[in-house]
């Protein structure tokens, strides 16, 4: 059978099943994985228009960044070393109020896409204003994404109130319905920024349109305490009463959870998105990942935005997740390397409802594939490729990225973005924002 592309590597980590396959190849045609088999057999069975041999490399599914604010890359490092409430209310929101525009989202998104691709991310789940602009540039560049239809109670340059946010968001949902690489999610920002009436409508829309709901929940102890003081119940209990606890919900952060809440999340099929580096940097708390996984909750990984992380590095995130789970639980077996890789790939795909399409290298799935060079000083020697990737490799080891079989990174060079131009635009924004905020 003639195919478009045959990629051969020293190792293939399909995620489904777990484990590493030595001297294997991926056969790809029309943007999908046709077969995964030993290289010698693949070369006999599949004549290819292009054959790429990558000695010393491991192939694995592209990372799924399950929580991001892509355009906030332009605010990287603007207000560091502050608690969440101070960082958000006294620095980030005022800066966004001054500078947020279509041009800001365009240039911030393009910068983020470049960074994500160079780190092996092929799919991201975004939550930011001007989502139509984000979607447009994702289409240009060729990544896969879930675009959040943001909802807030207060005005921003994107919309005046919850009704307008939803109206504009639903228009974008209709516009993107036929796009093979883009989908949408309803994205109420957080329980403390969206009232009961919009949340009830979101629960109804999610059921009617079969859309996921992407929301910050239980991010800090302060958030939970203030909700209890104001409403007499914890935010999760309120969301439950509003009909939002179910398989459609991607609850981000979740650092403050009781045993009863973990059991309820498992029972309802809620997905948790863990953002370990952002939570550590803002001192927001630690998500009880070990207990969630033991209860059967699907836990995915996200970077959060570069303004609070300060990067979009999924390799760094999955390493931190593995180490933090061990240190916080006192259990060195918590989140082993294979599980960390699954959290960064298949678990993220499952949270987005895309696990039949992406997240593992299984024949029939889309060819969202990355290659990581393990034949480097920093990863030599290695006895187990999964361990080498999780505990030793850095994102600079990602050499190739394909989305639906299309090469978007080739030998560390982006194929659909001009890096010099996007860096120049980012520097221009930094000069203006820095002068305005006194950060320059």
Model pLDDT for residues 148-162, shown as the tens digit of each residue: 999 999 999 999 999
Average pLDDT over residues 319-334: 97
pLDDT at 97: 87
Residue 98: Cβ within 10 Å count: 13
- The runs of H, that is alpha helices, within 215-373 are 221-231, 235-241, 259-268, 276-281, 289-295, 314-329, 337-343, 346-351
Residues 6+ apart with CB under 8 A from 148: 125, 126, 127, 128, 131, 184, 185, 186, 187, 214
Distance, CA of 222 to chain centre: 25
CA distance 313 to 294: 26
Task: Please list, residue by residue across 399-436, b when 16 or more beta carbons sit within 10 angstroms of its beta carbon and e when fewer do.
Answer: bbbbbbbebbbeeeebebbeeeebeebbeebbeebeee
- Residue 439: per-residue pLDDT: 61
Interval 339-374: pLDDT, tens: 999 999 999 999 999 999 999 999 999 999 999 999
Q: Where are the alpha helices (DSSP H) in 29-182?
A: 39-45, 84-86, 93-99, 102-118, 131-141, 162-176
35 CB-near residues (< 8 Å, 6+ apart):
26, 27, 42, 45, 46, 363
**For tokens 């059991």, what's the residue?**
263
CB 62 within 8 A of CB 403: yes
pLDDT value of position 240 = 98
Give the whole-number percent of the chain exceeding pLDDT 70.
99
Q: What strand order describes the sheet that includes 3-12?
A: 32-38, 21-29, 3-12, 48-61, 369-373, 398-403, 406-410, 413-414
Per-residue pLDDT at 85: 85
pTM: 0.97
Q: Which two tokens stand for residue 421?
A: 């131009």
Strands 406-410 and 398-403: antiparallel
All domains in the chain, ordered by first residue: 3-61+369-403 (2.30.40.10), 63-351 (3.20.20.140)
Strands of 121-126's sheet in order across: 63-68, 121-126, 144-151, 182-188, 213-217, 249-253, 271-274, 299-301
pLDDT, averaged across the chain: 96
pLDDT band at 437 (very low <50, low <70, confident <90, very high): confident
Q: How confident is the model at residue 396, as a pLDDT?
A: 97
| Angle of helix 131-141 versus helix 162-176 axis, rounded to 10 | 20
For residues 81 and 418, give the distance between their C-alpha atoms in angstroms, rounded to a whole number.
Answer: 32
- Residues constituting the chain: 440
- Cα–Cα distances in Å, from 387 out to 303, 382, 390, 398? 21, 8, 5, 16
Asked whether residue 440 carries a pLDDT value surpassing 80, the answer given is no
- Taking the CB of residue 363, how many other CB atoms lie within 10 A of it? 13
CA distance 17 to 416: 32
Compute the average pLDDT of residues 315-327.
Answer: 98
Summarize the confidence of residues 89-105 as an average pLDDT. 92
Residue 93: the pLDDT is: 87
Confidence of residue 438 (pLDDT cuts 50, 70, 90): low
CA–CA separation, 315 and 344 (whole Å): 8
Confidence grade of residue 404 (pLDDT, cut at 50, 70, 90):
very high
Coil, helix or strand at residue 22: strand
Q: What is the pLDDT of residue 299?
A: 98
pLDDT digits (tens, 9 = 90+) for 249-308: 999 999 999 999 999 999 999 999 999 999 999 999 999 999 999 999 999 999 999 999
52 pLDDT exceeds 60?
yes
| The pLDDT of residue 35 | 98
Of 86-95, 386-395, 422-431, which range is least confident?
A: 86-95
């Amino acid at each position: 059978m003639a195919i478009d592309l045959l990629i051969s590597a020293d190792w293939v980590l399909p995620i489904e099943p777990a484990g590493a396959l030595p001297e294997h190849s991926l056969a790809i045609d029309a943007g999908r994985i046709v077969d995964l088999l030993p290289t010698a057999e693949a070369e006999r069975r599949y004549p290819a228009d292009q054959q790429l041999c990558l000695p010393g490399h491991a192939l694995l599914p592209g990372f799924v960044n399950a929580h991001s604010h892509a355009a906030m890359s332009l605010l990287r490092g603007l207000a560091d070393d502050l608690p969440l409430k101070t960082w958000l209310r006294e620095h980030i929101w005022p800066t966004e109020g001054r500078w947020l525009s279509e041009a800001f989202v365009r240039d911030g998104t393009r910068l983020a896409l470049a960074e994500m691709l160079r780190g092996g991310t092929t799919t991201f789940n975004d939550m930011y204003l001007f989502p139509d602009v984000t979607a447009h540039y994702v289409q240009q560049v060729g990544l896969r994404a879930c675009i959040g239809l943001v909802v807030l109670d207060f005005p921003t340059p994107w919309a005046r109130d919850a009704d307008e946010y939803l109206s504009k968001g639903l228009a974008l949902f209709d516009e993107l319905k036929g796009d093979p690489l883009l989908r949408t999610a309803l994205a109420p920002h957080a329980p403390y920024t969206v009232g009961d009436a919009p949340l009830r409508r979101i629960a109804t829309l999610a059921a009617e349109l079969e859309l996921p709901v992407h929301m910050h929940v239980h991010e800090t102890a302060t958030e939970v305490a203030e909700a209890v003081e104001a409403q007499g119940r914890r935010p999760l209990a309120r969301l439950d009463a509003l009909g939002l606890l179910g398989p459609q919900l991607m609850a981000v952060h979740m650092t403050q959870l009781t045993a009863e809440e973990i059991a309820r999340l498992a029972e309802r099929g809620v997905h948790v998105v863990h953002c370990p580096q952002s939570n550590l940097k803002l001192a927001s708390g630690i998500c009880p990942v070990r207990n969630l996984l033991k209860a059967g909750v699907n836990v995915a990984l996200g970077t959060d935005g570069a303004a609070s992380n300060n990067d979009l590095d999924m390799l760094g995130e999955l390493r931190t997740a593995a180490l933090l789970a061990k240190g916080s639980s006192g259990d060195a077996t918590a989140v082993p390397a294979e599980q960390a890789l699954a959290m960064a790939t298949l678990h993220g795909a499952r949270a987005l409802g895309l696990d039949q399409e992406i997240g593992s290298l299984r024949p029939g799935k889309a060819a969202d594939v990355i290659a990581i060079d393990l034949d480097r000083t920093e990863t030599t020697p290695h006895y187990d490729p999964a361990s080498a990737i999780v505990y030793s490799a850095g994102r600079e080891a990602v050499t190739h990225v394909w989305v639906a079989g299309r090469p978007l990174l080739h030998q560390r060079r982006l194929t659909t973005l001009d890096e010099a131009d996007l860096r120049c635009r980012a520097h221009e924004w930094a000069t203006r924002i820095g002068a305005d905020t006194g950060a320059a």
